Amino acid sequence: MQHTLVNALARYSIAALRISLGLVIVGFGALKYFPGASPAAELAARTVEVLSFGLVSGTTAVVATAVVETVVGLTLLTGVGLRIGLVAMAGWLVGILSPVVLFAADLFPGGLPTLTAQYVLKDLILVAAAAVVAAWALGARYVVKEDDR
């Protein structure tokens, strides 16, 4: 029984992680297409404005973020163009974690995280999931250990 479970996990867990990561990212992106629907829209706009040195701001920044998230999410969901999607995701991950550095005083007043900071910090889980999916896409595979009994 345990051997069957281990084999099933080895066989399907990366695909499940890739698809669930894609669903989450598409969901975050889709909300940004509707004004007022995303709790992160204002933060996304501020972040893109700073990272683009003021060239992209406001609604354009939010829509650009939505497009990137939608494309990345769809590549994860479908597996089509996955390597290119992973490159885009690497840039997106830098962007979504940038507020921790760019707006630290706003996110951690008095040293404690605001709700917005907590929203950003949960993205560390997405980074870890993305690393696993990227390793798999680049050729890493599970190795099922033989029982030592």
Q: Which residues contact 51 (CB under 8 A, 6 or more apart)?
A: 95, 98, 102
H-helix or E-strand spanning residue 33 = none
103 in a structural domain: yes
Whether 99 is covered by a domain: the verdict is: yes
C-beta atoms surrounding 5 within 10 Å: 9
Whether 64 maps to a domain, the answer reads: yes
Per-position DSSP letters for 35-96, written without gaps between them: TTT-TTHHHHHHHHHHHTTTSS-HHHHHHHHHHHHHHHHHHHHH-TTHHHHHHHHHHHHHHH
Tally of structural domains, the chain: 1
Domain that holds residue 86: 2-137
Residue 94 falls within a domain, yes or no? yes
Interior angle at CA 65, CA 102 and CA 83, nearest 5: 105
Q: Is residue 102 included in any domain, yes or no? A: yes
pLDDT in tens, the chain (149 residues): 667 888 888 889 999 999 999 999 999 999 999 999 999 999 999 999 999 999 999 999 999 999 999 999 999 999 999 999 999 999 999 999 999 999 999 999 999 999 999 999 999 999 999 999 999 999 998 777 776 54
Domain-embedded: residue 144: no
Distances (CA, A) of 8 to 4, 21, 85, 130: 6, 19, 26, 21
Q: Is residue 147 part of a domain?
A: no
Task: Give domain status of residue 149, yes or no.
Answer: no
Residue 142 in tokens: 């599970």
Query: What does the DSSP 8-state code read for residue 98?
Result: T
Is the whole-model pTM more than 0.75?
yes
